[in-house]
Structures are given as structure tokens and as C-alpha cells.
């Protein structure tokens, strides 16, 4: 299959698919004693075949003191262990009363070349995000439900054009079962997008998925940090 020009190296396969699955790997130490470790993920196609892996990188103090708000770099590698995407998340506060310091993540593909940003939009009730290009121009919007927690069901964040209208894609936090949801922070996500979407924006949506995971579904010890984001 011919690959359009301008596709970052290592992202050629994304031109052929319209959905991906992201599965967080279980960390044994974290599950047993609640000690926060670096998150690791497998990124798969709709058939369950691994196409990328992702690993958070930061220090022990940052993970266990800052919790779900922590800053990190995340390296996304292909099956040959080549880094194809890098995510950079700075530390931000977590209150709806401070709209000047909202959550953000930068997406680079390849590492060192910024292709877009995901920026939280201020709203007192709903989780909203702007999907932006490399110059921070808004291209799409992402909106979740008022209560972004999965009580026995999936949680959907709808992707829409920047001016609103019908959804063109979705990021879904998938229900993993009662035991996993209560006792671990291992999460499963699905991302749906148009097949002909710019592959760089598909990479940015991956960044959005990880940001959503940390903001709403990451647990530190026995405490789910989601309720700090809009309080």
C-alpha cells in the first residue's frame, strides 16, 4: 500500500486503520503494595495485534508525590524498538478555578518534531479538550460526560470538528470488570477516527487518550485521583 508523503517514520501503519486499542499493563508491585510505578501500555490494532508499546518516564518522587497530575515524558516505540512518538506532559494544577494553568500534552513524531498538542479547555462541569496542530491552532474538539467515571460501563469522549456538529470519532474508556476497576489502575481504551484523518492527528489523539487516562482513571494507592481535577 502506498504511503502518503509527509508521514512521520514509523507511523505508516496508522494510515491503514481507523481504530486502535490501548491496554495498560499490570504492574505487580503497584497492584500488591500500592507503590506507584511507571505506567506501561500496549497499543494494538482491532485484531489485538501489538503495533506499538508505550512507557512513562519520570522519577519516583514525582510519581508518588504528584499522583495523577505528575509530569512525564512517554516514549512510544514500534515492534523494532524504534521510538516513533514522544509525549511530553508538564506539571499543571488541578482546579477548575484556575483556568490559566490547565492540563496540556505535547506530541512529537518523530521525537523532536512537534505535530500537535492536546489542551484542556476550561469548563466547570464537563471535561473538554482542544486537539491542536503544531502551531497550537485548534483543529478538533473532544468532550466527555459530566461524570467521567466508569460505573459498570464504558465512558465515551466524543471527537467533533472544531466548530461542533456530529462526532467524527471517539475515545472510549472500556469497562474492565469490577475486580480490575476497584483494585488496580490498569485501563483499556479504544480510539476511533476517520480512516483518512491526517496520521499526525491520529498520533495526537493517542496523546489525548493518555492524558485522559491520567486525569480521570489513574489511581494512586487506594485513592482514585479523578475527583481532584475539577474540584
pLDDT, position 171:
97
State which fold the 14-218 domain adopts.
Tubby Protein; Chain A (3.20.90)
pLDDT tens for residues 35-59?
567 889 999 999 999 999 999 987 6
Q: Under a CB-based contact definition with an 8 Å cutoff, are residues 30 and 40 in contact? A: no
Q: Has residue 221 got a pLDDT over 70?
A: no
Q: What is the mean pLDDT of the chain?
A: 83
The pTM of this model reads 0.84
Residue 79 confidence class, pLDDT cut points 50, 70, 90:
very high
Percent of the chain with pLDDT over 70: 74
Domain boundaries, the chain: 14-218
pLDDT tens for residues 82-112?
999 999 998 876 655 666 678 999 999 999 9
Q: Under a CB-based contact definition with an 8 Å cutoff, are residues 140 and 166 in contact? A: no
Transcribe 105-130 into DSSP letters: EEEESSTTSEEEEEEEEP-SSS-EEE
Q: Is 217 helix (H, G, I), strand (E, B) or coil?
A: helix
Q: What is the mean pLDDT of residues 133-142?
A: 97
Q: How far is CA 68 from CA 107, 149, 156, 173, 219, in A?
A: 19, 15, 20, 16, 7
Q: How far is CA 181 from CA 142, 174, 178, in A?
A: 24, 10, 5
Residue 81 confidence class, pLDDT cut points 50, 70, 90:
very high
Cα 161 to Cα 202: distance, rounded to the nearest angstrom? 14
Amino acid at each position: 500500500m502506498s504511503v502518503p508523503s509527509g508521514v512521520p517514520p514509523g507511523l505508516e501503519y496508522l494510515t491503514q486503520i481507523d481504530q486502535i486499542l490501548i491496554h495498560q499493563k499490570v504492574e505487580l508491585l503497584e497492584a500488591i503494595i500500592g507503590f506507584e510505578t511507571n505506567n506501561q501500555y500496549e497499543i494494538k490494532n482491532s485484531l489485538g495485534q501489538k503495533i506499538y508499546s508505550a512507557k512513562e518516564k519520570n522519577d519516583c518522587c514525582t510519581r508518588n508525590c504528584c499522583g495523577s497530575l505528575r509530569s512525564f515524558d512517554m516514549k512510544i516505540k514500534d515492534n523494532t524498538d524504534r521510538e516513533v512518538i514522544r509525549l511530553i506532559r508538564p506539571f499543571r494544577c488541578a482546579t477548575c478555578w484556575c483556568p490559566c494553568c490547565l492540563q496540556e500534552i505535547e506530541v512529537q513524531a518523530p521525537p523532536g518534531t512537534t505535530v500537535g498538542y492536546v489542551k484542556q479547555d476550561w469548563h466547570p462541569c464537563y471535561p473538554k479538550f482542544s486537539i491542536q496542530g503544531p502551531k497550537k491552532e485548534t483543529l478538533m474538539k473532544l468532550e466527555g460526560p459530566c461524570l467521567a467515571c466508569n460505573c459498570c460501563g464504558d465512558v465515551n469522549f466524543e471527537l467533533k470538528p472544531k466548530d461542533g456538529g456530529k462526532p467524527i470519532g471517539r475515545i472510549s474508556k472500556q469497562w474492565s470488570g469490577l475486580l480490575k476497576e476497584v483494585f488496580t489502575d490498569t485501563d483499556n481504551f479504544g480510539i476511533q477516527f476517520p480512516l483518512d484523518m491526517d496520521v499526525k492527528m491520529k498520533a495526537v489523539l493517542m496523546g489525548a487518550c493518555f492524558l485522559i487516562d491520567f486525569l480521570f482513571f489513574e489511581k494512586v494507592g487506594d485513592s482514585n485521583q479523578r475527583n481532584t481535577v475539577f474540584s
